[in-house]
Every structure is written in C-alpha cells, then in structure tokens.
C-alpha cells in the first residue's frame, strides 16, 4: 500500500530586541558566558518578570504580516520541566490563549504562490545553552551558559499542511526572508536565531485520518530539515510496509552522518502542568498599538514581487530574485528609476549579485560604494547604446574600487566610448571603401559577409563601439545603396 507523509512544523524565531523577554539584560549573541544575567533570568526567588514591549510589537508585526487574528487579551503560562539550562525549572510561554491565531504564509514566485495555513504564533522565552566539551584525559562534563536564558522567542506552529520535505525547506526559506524583511529577527539558523521541530506521520494515500506521529527536534539548517524529514519518512515507510507499527517518539537527526536517534519514547512523554503565570498580568493589546503596528508594516515581499512584475514587466522569477531581500528590491527600484527597467534588473541580478557573492558582502555595503543612481547612470548609457556592454562591465569593475561618474572613469583609464552614431559613421564608410568585394557580396544577399563587415568596424574602433549600432549603420548604408543612392563622401554635419 502506498503511503503519504503529513508534516507540521514548529519554528522558533529569536527576536532582534535589545533586551530579554522579561528583564533588562542584553539579548546579544556572543558575549562571554554568564555575563548577560540578572535575578529575573536566573530564576532567583522573589524576582519579578516584566514583558518586553519591543518583543510584543515585533510579534504583532509578524502576526499582522501573516494575516493572523490578534487576540486582544492573551495570557502567559508556565510550562514546567526540569533541565539544567532552564534555571527557573519552568519556561514562561503562552498556552491556551496565544497572542496570534490562524494566518498563512505564501511560498513561491509571484502569481504562483501557495499559502500554507498556520495554527498559532505566540511569545515565549529561550533557555540557556548547554555544551558538552570533550578533552583528552578529562572525565565527561557539561557546561551551561545562561546568556541566552530569557531571550525573546516567537513560536510559530503550522497546520499539518506539508506532504514533501522540499515544501518544508521552501517554507522555512520564505519565513526567514519574511522575518528579515520585517526586521523582527536576523533569522540566522547557524546562530540558532531560527530553529525548527517537525511532526511527521504516514497514512495510506488518500486516507483522512492521521497516522501515529513522531517529532524531529532541533533541526538547525534548511538542509537538515529536508534531509532529516526524508530519513524519518523512509524509516516510517519501511516499518509500515513491513507490517510493523510506528511508535510515538521524539528523535534527533545528525545531518553530518545522516543518522536518526530516538531521544525519548511515549512512555516518558512530558506532562508540563501548564498554568497561568501568576507574576504577569494578562497581555492587553489596545487598538492604538495594533493600528500603529499595522501602519508601520512595509510592503510585504509577495505584494512587492507582484508589483515589480506589473509595473516593470519583469518575469515572476526575476521579481522573486530581486525581492529575496528588502534592501535588494530597494536598490533595484532606485536603479530602475534612472535607467531602463528590464536592463537594470539584469544588471542587478547578474553583476551586483555576483559581486555580493564573490566579496561576501551585504547589499548595504555594496550600495555605500556604488549607490543605485551611479549604477543606474551606467545602465542608462548602455540602454542608449552610448557604451557597449563589454566596456560597461569594465566601467562597473572600476566603480567598485574608484570614485567618479562614468565619463570620469573612462577618461581616467584613457578610454573613449564610441557609441553615438555620429562618431561611428566615418569608420563605417572607411571600412566599406576598403572592402569593395565584400560590399558587392552583401548587396547580393550574403548576411555572413555583413557580420564580417561589422567585425571590421569593431576592430577599427578598438572594441569600443557598440556592435548593435554598427550593424544598424551598415544596414542603413546598404539599404541606401540598394535603392540606388550614391554614398555620401563625408558624414553630414550640423546646419
Ligand atoms: Zn536578566
């Protein structure tokens, strides 16, 4: 019997706030161990938590962008468990009344998006971080660092809407883009700023009821999510097709060795004894705060991609590439404001993205060196056929390391762009005069000979002419000769 997988995701998003969720300690990454701590985040007796307004506002931004219903009164709850990296022995989270419910995230290119439905989005605090160093000669020991304890997290839970691991990978990439776009998180999976758990079960294809699910924990890269899910689906399929049953369990996945390990089975499933957090009041979102969050939302990435298609005539694919980062879309639009829109898109996607990749820099750093109007100025000259493509790429290379406009750069490097038709006409006439036999062949209909003549003019211009302009000039000249006009002796001057 063929089986299909049903997958749901739980994503943890670390918010980019200055302070922690319930105290004033810095939420920064990379400080020396146990330096960003206080009685509240260490869970000392008598310390009282206080919700961080910036974290609530960030949650509202993401909730509104995803089209969630925002609960006017949501409740923080204690989730009890003992673990060495949780100093309070409980975590403050939200349980039966989360801040945001429902909503969906569109994934895919403009016009072809698929929306994946969400269950909820709620606020909570992160745990500390355990590490298990191994040194030769030492007995096994573990270390714990409480800097991360109390850092604000958003937990996003999807409906069980995925069938394929690749869909989950695409969803995570779209979520990462959105949290960065909104400025609520850096979304760096390597730094644990975006983490993912996955629930997966198999059922006979087409069946309505869900099978027994397992949970894959702490998937910390998009590749890890895709490969871990593929391994777990294969494991369950083998069990079921061999007549066995899947046991409820929590597993971890080692991406380096492509290996699944059972962390705990159903017998020791947790009972967290949730109850409302007595030290925090109900979280009330008044209308004015909600309206301010709504008014502060930028144009969302999928709306913007659709607009780039409609306004500039870009393909859905190109619009998606340009909307991969908000700053890149901003750069492109500033460039398109002064140059041909589609040519500007090509330049940003090929030349600018190539440089970002080669120099491992951000679009912000690049824009500081080559502002959009500067690149736009170059692209406009290419579009006007004043500068041929190969020379323009050379100029772009100089722009990366030197100051100055296009003409200044050309002058500094001793190059004169030959592109305007008036500059090239004498060269065209010269070449026609030198190659009478070729001229006769073209007049007799040989297009290959026309290519030869284009090449000759290019050579005379020392590569600085635009081939398209040369070809047009030659074609005009041949049309005139075919019509029986005699060639002019010199280019026409002004009046
Ligand atoms: Zn603290």
Nearest-angstrom CA–CA distance, 290 and 282? 16
**Beta-carbon contacts of residue 357 (< 8 Å; ≥ 6 apart):** none
How far apart are the CA of 278 and the centre of ligand 1, in A?
Answer: 19
- Give pLDDT, residue 385: 83
151 CA distance to ligand 1 centroid (A)? 9
| Residue 422, pLDDT score | 56
Cα 134 to averaged position of ligand 1 atoms, centre (Å): 29
- The residues near 278 (Cβ < 8 Å, ≥ 6 apart) are none
pLDDT at position 487, please? 55
- Paired strand residues for 216: 198, 251
Question: How many angstroms is it from 14 CA to the middle of ligand 1?
Answer: 16
What is the whole-number distance in angstroms between the Cα of residue 27 and the centre of ligand 1?
9
Distance 131 CA to ligand 1 centre (A): 21
Residue pair 10/153 in contact by the 8 Å Cβ criterion? no
Would you state the torsion angle of the CA atoms of residues 336, 339, 341, 343, taken in this order, to the nearest 10 degrees?
A: -120
Q: Is the pLDDT of residue 259 over 60?
A: yes
Length of the chain: 495
pLDDT tens per residue, range 287-296: 999 999 999 9
How would you classify the pairing of strands 76-80 and 259-265?
unpaired
Residue 19 CA to ligand 1 centre (angstroms): 8
Distance 197 CA to ligand 1 centre (A): 27
Output the six-digit token pair for 268.
């020791």
**What digits encode the pLDDT tens for the residues 323-371?**
999 999 999 999 999 999 999 999 999 999 999 999 888 999 999 999 9
Instruction: Please give the distance, rounded to the nearest whole angstrom, from the Cα atom of residue 184 to the centre of ligand 1.
Output: 21
* Cα 185 to ligand 1 centroid, rounded to whole Å: 20
Question: Residue 221 Cα, ligand 1 centroid: separation in angstroms?
Answer: 28
- How far away, in angstroms, is 156 Cα from ligand 1 center? 24
What integer pLDDT is reported at residue 421 of this predicted model? 54
Indicate the domain borders of the chain. 3-291, 300-412, 421-482
pLDDT at site 445 = 85
148, with CB counted inside 10 A (0-12, 13-18, 19+), is buried
| Alpha carbon of 23 to ligand 1 centroid (Å) | 5
Examine the pLDDT at 179 and tell me if it is beyond 50: yes
Higher pLDDT, 176 or 255: 176
Q: Please, where are the H alpha helices in 135-211?
A: 165-181
What distances in angstroms separate CA 280 from CA 50, 74, 225, 277, 289, one per listed residue?
7, 11, 35, 6, 19
Give me ligand 1 centre to Cα 218, in Å. 25
Query: What class, spelled out in words, does domain 421-482 have in CATH?
Result: mainly alpha
Q: Please say whether the beta carbons of 37 and 146 come within 8 A.
A: yes
pLDDT for residue 492: 46
Q: Given this model, what pLDDT does residue 495 score?
A: 40
C-alpha 11 – ligand 1 centre gap (Å): 24
Å from CA of 18 to ligand 1 middle: 12
Q: What is the pLDDT of residue 488?
A: 55
Could you tell me the distance, in angstroms and rounded to a whole number, from the CA of residue 146 to the centre of ligand 1?
Answer: 9
Distance in angstroms (rounded) separating the CA atoms of residues 379 and 375:
6
Q: Which of 382, 301, 310 is nearest to 346 (CA)?
A: 382
Q: What is the pLDDT confidence band of residue 266, given thresholds at 50, 70 and 90?
A: low
Phi and psi of 225, rounded to 5°? -65, -50
- 28 alpha carbon – ligand 1 mean position (Å): 12
* Interval between CA 87 and ligand 1 midpoint (Å): 12
Compute the average pLDDT of residues 69-74. Answer: 97
> How far does residue 37's CA lie from ligand 1's centre (Å)?
4
**In contact, 170 and 35? CB cutoff 8 Å:** no
- Under DSSP, the state recorded for 348 is I
Question: What pLDDT is stored for residue 83 in this prediction?
Answer: 87
C-alpha 152 – ligand 1 centre gap (Å): 12
What mean pLDDT do residues 280-284 have?
Answer: 97
> Ligand 1 centroid vs 25 CA: distance in angstroms?
4
Expressed in angstroms and rounded, the spacing between residue 59 Cα and the centre of ligand 1 is 20
Distance 153 CA to ligand 1 centre (A): 15
Residue 411, pLDDT > 90, answer no
Mean pLDDT of the chain: 91
Report the pLDDT value the prediction gives residue 494, as an integer from 0 to 100: 40
Question: Which tens digits make up the pLDDT trace of 377-394?
Answer: 999 999 988 888 878 998
- From ligand 1's centre to the CA of 170, what distance in Å? 36
pLDDT 10s digits, 437-490? 999 999 888 888 998 998 888 888 877 776 777 888 888 888 888 887 665 554
Beta bridge partners of 122: 155
Which residues are found with C-beta within 5 Å of the ion, ligand 1?
A: 23, 25, 38, 40-41
């Amino acid at each position: 019997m063929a089986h299909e997988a049903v997958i749901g995701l739980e994503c943890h998003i670390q918010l980019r706030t200055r302070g922690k969720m319930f105290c004033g300690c810095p939420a920064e990454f990379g400080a020396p161990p146990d330096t960003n701590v206080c009685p509240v985040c260490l869970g000392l007796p008598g310390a009282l938590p206080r919700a961080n307004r910036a974290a609530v506002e960030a949650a509202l931004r993401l909730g509104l962008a995803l089209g969630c219903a925002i609960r006017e009164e949501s409740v923080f709850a204690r989730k009890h468990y003992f673990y060495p990296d949780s100093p309070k022995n409980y975590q403050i989270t939200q349980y039966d009344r989360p801040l945001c419910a429902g909503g969906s995230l569109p994934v895919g290119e403009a016009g072809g998006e698929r929306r994946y439905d969400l269950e909820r989005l709620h606020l909570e605090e992160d745990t500390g971080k355990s590490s298990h160093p191994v040194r030769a000669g030492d007995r096994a020991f573990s270390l714990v660092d409480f800097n991360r304890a109390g850092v604000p997290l958003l937990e996003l839970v999807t409906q069980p809407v995925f069938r394929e691991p690749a869909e989950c990978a695409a969803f995570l990439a779209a979520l990462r883009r959105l949290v960065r776009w909104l400025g609520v998180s850096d979304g760096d999976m390597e730094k644990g700023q975006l983490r993912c758990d996955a629930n997966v079960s198999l059922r006979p294809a087409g069946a309505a009821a869900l099978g027994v699910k397992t949970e894959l924990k702490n998937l910390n890269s998009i590749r890890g999510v895709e490969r871990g899910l593929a391994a777990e689906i294969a494991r369950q399929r083998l069990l079921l097709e061999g007549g066995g049953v899947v046991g409820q369990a929590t597993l971890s996945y080692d991406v380096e060795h492509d290996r699944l390990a059972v962390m705990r089975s159903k017998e020791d499933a947790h009972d967290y004894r949730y109850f409302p957090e007595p030290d925090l009041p109900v979280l009330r979102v008044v209308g004015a705060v909600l309206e301010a969050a709504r008014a502060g939302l930028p144009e969302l990435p999928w709306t913007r991609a659709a607009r780039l298609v409609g306004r500039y005539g870009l393909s859905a694919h190109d619009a998606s590439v340009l909307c991969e980062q908000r700053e890149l879309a901003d750069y492109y639009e500033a460039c398109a404001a002064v140059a041909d829109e589609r040519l500007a898109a090509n330049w940003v996607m090929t030349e600018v993205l190539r440089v970002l990749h080669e120099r491992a820099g951000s679009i912000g750093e690049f824009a500081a060196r080559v502002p959009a109007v500067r690149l736009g100025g170059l692209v406009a000259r290419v579009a006007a056929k004043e500068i041929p493509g190969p020379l323009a790429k050379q100029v772009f290379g100089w722009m990366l390391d030197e100051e100055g406009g296009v003409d200044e750069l050309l002058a500094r490097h001793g190059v004169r762009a030959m592109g305007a038709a008036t500059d090239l006409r004498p060269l065209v006439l010269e070449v026609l005069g030198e190659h009478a036999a070729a001229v006769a062949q073209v007049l007799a209909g040989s297009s290959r000979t026309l290519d030869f003549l284009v090449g000759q003019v290019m050579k005379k211009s020392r590569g600085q002419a635009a081939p398209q302009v040369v070809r047009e000039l030659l074609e005009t000249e041949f049309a005139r000769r075919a019509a029986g006009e005699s060639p002019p002796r010199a280019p026409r001057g002004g009046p």
